[in-house]
């Protein structure tokens, strides 16, 4: 997906330059708008890539410390985690965060459980909190 998005950004950038080269007011307006779209896409791509790298490093650090979640969530034949099994683990990890709200390790583990339960929004929020506390 990252490669496809990068190709899309390049193609939009090329179209923007072509519109700017027309010299017409409408073409220049469209070209500027396309440049803005390409710039926003590039910034978001870099931010997401950076977030992924930072989370990966944090996970490796937790693994080296021996603190990675040891619970195994069974997966369905499709490869997706069994949500009900992940939901059963949630209260324990949530309690760990409530007991130590400044512990990045607890937040990271909670993010992993949220992700296994399919709640991507909360998983990302928990991971962001873990990154904040890890500094």
Model confidence at 65: pLDDT above 80: yes
Q: Is-contact 127 107, C-beta < 8 A?
A: yes
The 3-class SS string of 30-91 reads HHHHHHHHHHHHHHHHHHHHHHHHHHHHHHHHHHHCCCCCCCCCCECCCCCECHHHHHHHHH
Q: Domain 83-134, what fold? A: 1.25.40
Task: Give pLDDT tens digits for 90-127.
Answer: 888 899 999 999 999 999 999 988 888 888 899 999 99
Domain ranges of the chain: 2-64, 83-134
State both tokens at 114: 């949220």
pLDDT average, residue stretch 67-84: 76
**Whole-prediction pTM:** 0.76
């Amino acid at each position: 997906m990252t490669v496809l998005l990068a190709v899309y950004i390049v193609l939009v950038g090329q179209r923007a330059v072509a519109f700017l080269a027309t010299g017409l007011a409408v073409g220049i307006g469209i070209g500027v708008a396309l440049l803005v779209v390409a710039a926003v896409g590039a910034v978001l791509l870099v931010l997401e890539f950076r977030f992924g790298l930072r989370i990966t490093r944090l996970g490796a650090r937790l693994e080296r410390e021996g603190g990675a979640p040891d619970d195994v969530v069974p997966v369905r034949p499709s490869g997706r985690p069994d949500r009900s099994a992940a939901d059963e683990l949630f209260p324990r990890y949530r309690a760990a965060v409530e007991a130590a709200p400044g512990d990045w390790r607890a937040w990271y583990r909670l993010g992993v459980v949220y992700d296994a339960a399919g709640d991507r929004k909360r998983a990302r929020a928990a991971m962001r909190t873990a990154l904040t506390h890890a500094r």
